[in-house]
Amino acid sequence: MAIALVAATSAANAETPIIGKHQLTISNGLMTPEVLWSFGRVAGAQVSPNGLKVLYSVSYYSVAENKGNSELFVMNVDGSDKKQITKTATREAAAKWMKDGEHIAFLSSETGSMQLWTMKADGTERKQISDRKEGINDFAFSPDETKILFVADVKYGQRTVDKYPDLPKASGLIVNDLMYKHWDEWIQTVPHPFIADFKNNKVENEVDVLNGEPFESPMKPFGGIEQLAWSPDGKTVAYTCRKKTGKEYALSTNSDIYFYNLETKKTENKTQGMMGYDQNPTFSPDGKWLAWESMERDGYEADKNRLFIMNIATGVKTDVSAQFDQNSTGLTWSADSKSIYFVSCWHAVTEIYRADIAKNKITQITKGVHDYSSVALAKDRLIGVKHSMSKPDEVYAINPKTGLETELSFENKEILSQLEMGKVEERWITTTDNKQMHTWVVYPPHFDKTKKYPTLLFCEGGPQSTVSQFWSYRWNLQLMAANGYIVVAPNRRGLPSFGMEWLEQISGDYGGQNMNDYFSAIDALAKEPYVNKDKLGCVGASYGGFSVYWLAGHHDKRFKAFLSHDGMFNLPQQYLETEEMWFVNWDLGGAYWEKNNAIAQRSYANSPHLFVDKWDAPILVIHGEKDYRILASQGMAAFNAAVLRGVPAQMLIFPDENHWVLQPQNGILWQRTFYEWLDKWLK
């Protein structure tokens, strides 16, 4: 296959090239890793205050330079008059409209650390308005733009150099409590919200909302400015915080919504007694209501994400989603404060919904085979960002009455027009306990039912994240199909969007019914005449990686090759190696030394390392050494065990990647190794 790929780049100077949109010529219409990394990644759609324009960002990546860059675009809400308004050698991030609808505020590292800048919506009159030595992570202006709420990192705990100033180059960390690491970092800073005056186009007189408390807000590792909100009158800031540290933090998911009054400087906990995650507050435009996302149970990170509202005057709280057996995320108030738009996944597709407050009624707006990731209000229409297994994120306009969608951004139209995507088919498969399980099947492009194809079982991670219509730049099912594989992706027990009973079955049952669900899926497809049942492979990451390790010891010779990325191999060791103890306590049932804990003992009895003696098929192990969620020692132990057992094995280790693979050249290496391994054993 021939691919001509030219990065549209220019140079601010000889040392800082600008990474821009790729121009591709694809001769045979098939996806490759290089094509996958050439897509522009659309994000952050923001509607102007007058509802007439949309601001969004697109990230581009250069494999040759091994880095990415993001640029800003503005268009009318009907998709017309689209313009790229930045083209710089530094990343623009967190862009937001200012109240006049003519200016944009954003973060840029143009002068070193990330600082706040403004410019006109056509990209002119670019000005830096902050100059903090520590930089700024994210921000939101007050409604009248006299103040700014921003997030910045503050020092956490005592560092070695604080204790021993004469050892400034010592790299050792002295640890006295848990949560000394989290996901991919050693915790030496936490984010805090600050409020500052915004006068004469300058940010000054900042105040730490947490007053130096050793807590994080927003919450790591994924929280952003959506976890904080201004009241419409600009007198109150709502913020999300889990006011715990160390061991207490490691054992609990109990976060709360706090109100900080700018006039009195007092803080009030508005969700006291609500024991799970409470986060992402948003005030109604009339200032009478607060909406937020809430989980009920402490320690259960995959609990139902409920839509809660509170009457601010009375303090009365209502679960709007009480009769709605789905998650509710990405809340957006209607202009009249009478309803809330949000996104929710059901049966493995994510749609936009509306909750009518007075009627206590939830209505589905969009319908299709896709995933919406966000929704915003633009006068008489909605603006959403959506993707599918066959198409990356683009911006759409949606009629809130009919659900009719119109694509606006068309960022990747040229690349997509040259690609032949495989057919994506929805199936319902009968499980071993006579339930119906939703399964996606992705066929190779130019599929010929008279031929026999090698087939891959895709094992989802999470363990409680849906196999929806996701688009991934690593686990891309269309790329797998383009390499000549049929892909079987079951929504096995433990995955959302099929009700809480289906979701919760997996907790305390690792190695149980959900593994039987995997067998049900691959066995059903193996009966098809176009599936080569002698060339079956099994792949997955995180919990999916655990699944691969477990299935390798129980598959009864179904599979001829395995591939596990960042998987749990030794569960007793995982219990003590991981950092979020609430997760292993809930999902595994407790500690392995609790001999009278039947659930925990069942979990540890299903640890994959106990079944290595039954491994009989080649296995590729991939892991990142900056993965502090599932340490690389898990992958190394699995690889070592395979080699010692005489099982054909290979390991791809990334010293500088975390639970994901984020660098372009590492991403390409991942894909090439992935397919070289599978092709060796399945073709």
Phi, psi of 632 (to 5 degrees): -60, -20
Q: Rounded CA gap, 173 and 661, in Å?
A: 26
Give, in degrees to the nearest 5, the angle at Cα 19 between 18 and 21.
125
Q: Which amino acid is at 537?
A: G
What mean pLDDT is predicted for residues 241-257? 98
Task: Specify the pLDDT at position 91.
Answer: 86
Structure tokens belonging to residue 281: 């507050």
Domains, in order of start, for the chain:
37-136 (2.120.10.30), 420-682 (3.40.50.1820)
Residue 374 C-alpha from the chain's centroid:
13
Residue 122 annotated in active site: no
Q: pLDDT > 70: what percent of the chain? A: 98
Is the CB of residue 538 less than 8 Å from the CB of residue 458? no
Checking if the pLDDT of 674 tops 50, the result is yes
Across the chain, mean pLDDT equals 95
pLDDT of residue 662: 97
Q: Which of 217, 374, 542, 603 is catalytic?
A: 542
Neighbours of 286 (CB within 10 A): 12
The phi, psi pair for 500, rounded to 5°, reads -70, -30
Burial class (CB in 10 A: 0-12, 13-18, 19+), 592: buried
Q: How far apart are CA 259 and CA 280, in angstroms?
A: 13
Integer CA distances (angstroms), 209 to 173, 281, 292, 468, in order: 28, 16, 20, 38
| pLDDT of res. 13 | 36
**pLDDT reported for residue 16:** 52
Distance, CA of 336 to CA of 379 (rounded, Å)? 11
Binning pLDDT at 50, 70 and 90, where does residue 27 land? Answer: confident
pLDDT digits (tens, 9 = 90+) for 567-622: 999 999 999 999 999 999 999 999 999 999 999 999 999 999 999 999 999 999 99
CA angle 236, 237, 241 (to 5 degrees): 140
Mean pLDDT across 30-43: 97
Interatomic CA distance for residues 27 and 3, integer angstroms = 6
A 10 A CB-CB count for 582 gives 17
Confidence bin at 1 (pLDDT 50/70/90): very low
Q: How far is CA 586 from the centre of its chain?
A: 21
pLDDT band at 14 (very low <50, low <70, confident <90, very high): very low
196 in Cβ contact with 206 (< 8 Å): yes
Tokens of 487: 């892909």
Q: Active-site residue among 22, 387, 623, 659?
A: 659
Rounded mean pLDDT of 342-357? Answer: 98
Q: In this structure, what are the phi and psi dihedrals at residue 605, rounded to the nearest 5 degrees?
A: -70, -15
Q: What gap in Å lies between CA 28 and CA 444, rounded to an integer?
A: 13
pLDDT for residue 478: 98
| Residue 336 or 14, more confident | 336
Averaged pLDDT, 438-460 = 98
- What pLDDT was estimated at residue 57? 97
Mean pLDDT confidence for 620-634: 98
Which residues touch 148 (CB under 8 Å, ≥6 apart)?
Answer: 116, 139, 140, 141, 142, 195, 196, 197, 198, 203
User: Mapped to the 3 state alphabet, what secondary structure does 609-624 carry?
Assistant: HHHHHHCCCCEEEEEE
DSSP-derived secondary structure letter, 4: E
pLDDT > 50? residue 6 = no
Q: Which of 256, 509, 517, 627 is catalytic?
A: 627
Return the closest-CA partner of residue 415 out of 392, 395, 396, 386.
Answer: 392
Question: Does 370 qualify as catalytic in the annotation?
Answer: no
- As a whole number of angstroms, the distance between CA 236 and CA 672 comes to 52
Nearest 5°: CA angle at 384, between 378 and 390? 155
Contact yes or no for 446/420 (Cβ under 8 A): yes
pLDDT over 50 at 8, yes or no: no
Q: If we measure between CA atoms, which residue out of 604, 583, 584 comes closest to residue 593?
A: 604
Burial of 282 (0-12, 13-18, 19+ CB in 10 A): buried
Question: For residue 17, what pLDDT is reported?
Answer: 58
Q: Is 659 a catalytic residue?
A: yes
User: Is residue 168 exposed (0-12), middle (13-18) or buried (19+ Cβ within 10 Å)?
Assistant: exposed
**Rg of the chain on CA atoms, in Å:** 25
DSSP string of 528-566? STTEEEEEEEEEEETHHHHHHHHHHTTSTT--SEEEEES
DSSP-assigned beta bridge partners for residue 209: none
Contact 427, 441 (CB under 8 A): yes
Q: Tokens standing for 24? A: 């591709």
Range list of β-strands (E), 367-512: 371-378, 381-388, 391-398, 405-407, 424-430, 436-442, 453-459, 486-490
